[in-house]
Amino acid sequence: MSSDRPRRPRVGDDGRPGRAGPVASAVVAVFGALAALLRRLSAWITGHHRPPSAASPPTDDGEPEGDGPGGPDERDRRDLLRAVAASELEPVELTRLDHGDGSHQWLAVGPAPTRSALPIALLLLASAACAVGFAVVYAVDGSHVLQGVLLGGALLGMGVSLVAWGARLLPETLSLERREPLDQGQRAALETDLSRPELARPGRRVLLGSLVGAAGAFLVAAAFPLRSLGPKPGNALSTTAWRAGLRLVTADGRPVHRDDIPLDGALTVFPEGHTDAGDSQVMLLRVPDGLLSPGTASGGVVDGRVAYSKVCTHAGCPVAQFRVDSRPPITSYELLCPCHQSLFDVLDGARPIAGPAASPLPQLPLAVDDGGYLVATGDFPAPIGPSYWDEP
């Protein structure tokens, strides 16, 4: 833009029309191309090309109000003519349709199209062929892909035919009707009817109050059966099936020996006898013993075998991914929840280090029994899973 040009008028500073800025122009161009494409598609089906509604609001050129030849009815007629002029409808007839109940419409009808009905008839035949084809494919237990294409094709063929029939074979029309005000202005009359003193009874207030009380009591009573929908939460959310001495078993009930888990390995375990307890699932991991933080090591660890609740403290998904990243400088051991990507540091008490989880995964205290099998020495020290407000 050369510098000698005057400043582009800022929108709205003088009320005069300005020009669209470059960004607006780009948007306009993109939308224009898209709209033109859509319009061409629809024109292909409907057989006409309707120009968009004009940007300028209708101008009220001060026509006379009131009844008579110059009155509102004349205005309606002219409005319809305006709308017709802006459309591509070439009306051959403008009629006032009296509905006989005081309402009327103005109707502009275009010329009767002389297009051939043959393409539509052929399309309908094709649609019928699709329907028959579907029946055949169904009967011979053919593929569902073909079923969908044929049954959908039958509907599509009929649908496009109907649209084309309405748009290509019937005369185009445009109508105008008057919108009766929805607010009928009956406020005073309504108020009178609602509270006619001659139909009221003194002392209504007491009765009304009692009615509200009775209805309220009923609603409260009716809510009681809702209690049957579920048990009392009690301490179900803060405790699990883990008890001191319970052996760790796999999902199929096999006890886990201390040597069943290799270094850097992971195993999902349950308390013996409770393999279907969703809240008691545990990730048993084995890391080099010396790497565990002192707090973790003192929480019940057997030679680097450490166990954490598998229920994510964020939204309850299983924290199923154990990642050992041995890239320098340090080897990291992490548990990842695949649902919302919370990351927990295995070496440091499963402390959350990234993602939306805020609390660590509770650690299950472990020991070894006489046979070398891993056992728990108690329940988790904290409630497992997502938090709730009155969590202990």
Partner 1 sequence: MKLADVVRPITSRLGGDRFTRTTLNKLFPGHWSFLLGEVALYSFLVLVATGVYLTFFFSPSDAEIVYDGSYAPLVGQTVTEAYASTIHLSLEVRAGLLIRQTHHWAALVFIGAILLHMARIFFTGAFRKPRELNWTIGLTLLVLALAMGFSGYSLPGDLLSGTGLRIAYSIAESVPLVGPWVTFLVFGGEWPVEGFTSRLYAVHILILPLAILGLLGAHLAILWRQKHTQMTGPGARDDNLVGERLWPSYAMKAGGLALIVGGVLLVLGGTVQINPVWLYGPYDASSVTTAAQPDWYIGFLEGSLRLWPAWETRIGGLTIPAVFYSGVVAPAIMFGLLYAVPALHRRLTGDRSEHHLAQRPREAPVRTGIGVAAIAFYVVLFVAGAQDVIASHFDVSVDVVRNLLRVLLVVLPPLAGYLAYRICRALAAGGAHPERTPVGFPLARTELGGFVEARAGTPEPPEPPVTEHDLEELDDAGVGGQGDPREQGR
Q: Contacts with partner 1 in 302-341 (CB under 8 A)?
A: 310, 314-318, 320-321, 338-341
Cβ atoms of 373 and 352 within 8 Å: the answer is no
Name the DSSP letter for residue 167: I
Q: Hey, which residues between 28 and 67 contact partner 1 (CB under 8 A)?
A: 28-29, 31-32, 35-36, 38-39, 42, 50-59, 61
Cβ atoms of 343 and 288 within 8 Å: the answer is no
User: According to CB under 8 A, which one of 165, 243, 324, 332 is a site residue for partner 1?
Assistant: 165
User: According to CB under 8 A, which one of 47, 255, 278, 304 is a site residue for partner 1?
Assistant: 278
List phi, psi (to 5°) of 382. Answer: -140, 160
Question: By rule CB under 8 A, what count of residues binds partner 1?
Answer: 143
Can residue 274 be called a binding residue for partner 1 (CB under 8 A)? no
Cβ atoms of 163 and 43 within 8 Å: the answer is no
Tell me the DSSP string of 227-253: GGGS---TTTTT--S--TTPBEE-TTS
Can residue 221 be called a binding residue for partner 1 (CB under 8 A)? no
- The two most distant CA atoms of the chain are separated, in Å, by 110
Nearer Cβ to partner 1 (192/268): 268
Cβ atoms of 384 and 362 within 8 Å: the answer is yes
Q: Which of 1-9, 186-194, 199-207, 211-219 is the region at the interface with partner 1 (rule: CB under 8 A)?
A: 1-9
Can residue 387 be called a binding residue for partner 1 (CB under 8 A)? yes
Name the DSSP letter for residue 352: E
Beta bridge partners of 97: 105
CA–CA dist 314, 359 (Å, integer): 8
Q: Hey, which residues between 85 and 114 contact partner 1 (CB under 8 A)?
A: 85-86, 91-95, 97, 99, 101, 105, 107-108
Nearer Cβ to partner 1 (304/356): 356
User: According to CB under 8 A, which one of 48, 82, 243, 274 is a site residue for partner 1?
Assistant: 82
Site string for partner 1, 116-155 (x = CB under 8 A): ----------------------x--x--xxxxxx-xxxxx
Q: 152: which 2 tokens?
A: 């959908």
Min separation Cβ 191 and partner 1, Å: 20
Min separation Cβ 360 and partner 1, Å: 11
User: According to CB under 8 A, which one of 102, 185, 197, 230 is a site residue for partner 1?
Assistant: 230
Nearer Cβ to partner 1 (101/370): 101
The closest of 167, 162, 172, 161 to 119, measured between CA atoms, is 161
Min separation Cβ 388 and partner 1, Å: 5
Nearer Cβ to partner 1 (320/367): 320
My answer on whether omega of the bond before 9 falls inside 30° of 0, hence cis, is: no
Nearer Cβ to partner 1 (265/356): 356
Can residue 170 be called a binding residue for partner 1 (CB under 8 A)? yes
Q: Which of 170-178, 203-211, 258-266, 289-297 is the region at the interface with partner 1 (rule: CB under 8 A)?
A: 170-178
The closest of 336, 363, 366, 338 to 348, measured between CA atoms, is 363
Q: Hey, which residues between 182 and 211 contact partner 1 (CB under 8 A)?
A: 182-183
Beta bridge partners of 352: 344
Min separation Cβ 94 and partner 1, Å: 3
Q: Which of 190-198, 286-294, 323-331, 347-355 is the region at the interface with partner 1 (rule: CB under 8 A)?
A: 347-355
Q: Which long-range contacts (CB under 8 A, 24 or more apart) does 264-269 make?
A: 264/324, 266/322, 268/310, 268/318, 268/320, 269/307, 269/374
CA–CA dist 84, 78 (Å, integer): 10
107-122 burial, b at 16+ Cβ within 10 Å, e below that, comes to: bbbbeeeeeeeeebee
Q: Which of 13-21, 295-303, 324-332, 371-379 is the region at the interface with partner 1 (rule: CB under 8 A)?
A: 13-21
Can residue 157 be called a binding residue for partner 1 (CB under 8 A)? yes
Nearer Cβ to partner 1 (23/330): 23
Q: Hey, which residues between 351 and 380 contact partner 1 (CB under 8 A)?
A: 352, 354-359
The closest of 257, 248, 286, 256 to 377, measured between CA atoms, is 248
How many residues are recorded in the chain? Answer: 392
